Amino acid sequence: MTTRVTHEVEETRQAGADFAALLRPGDVVILRGDLGAGKTAFTQGVARGLGCMQRVTSPTFTLCQVYELPNSAIDALLHIDLYRIGHASELSDLGVDEALDRGGVAIVEWGDLAPTGFGEPAWSVTLLSGEEDDREITLEPRDSARLAAAQKWAQS
Ligand X SMILES: Nc1ncnc2c1ncn2[C@@H]1O[C@H](COP(=O)(O)OP(=O)(O)O)[C@@H](O)[C@H]1O
Q: Where on the chain is the footprint of Mg ion (CB under 5 A)?
A: 39-40, 58, 109
Q: Does 80 bind ligand X (CB under 6 A)?
A: no
Given candidates 2, 14, 40, 138, which one binds ligand X under the rule CB under 6 A?
40
- 149: amino acid identity, one letter: A
Q: Does 112 bind ligand X (CB under 6 A)?
A: no
CB atoms near residue 71 (< 10 Å): 9
Alpha helix (H) residue ranges in the chain:
9-20, 39-49, 89-92, 96-101, 144-155
Give the angle 106-107-108 at the CA atoms, nearest 5°.
110
**Distance in Å, CB of 147 to ligand X, minimum:** 24
Given candidates 19, 20, 33, 146, which one binds ligand X under the rule CB under 6 A?
33
- Residues that bind ligand X in the complex, under the rule CB under 6 A: 6-9, 11-12, 33, 35-41, 58, 109, 133, 135
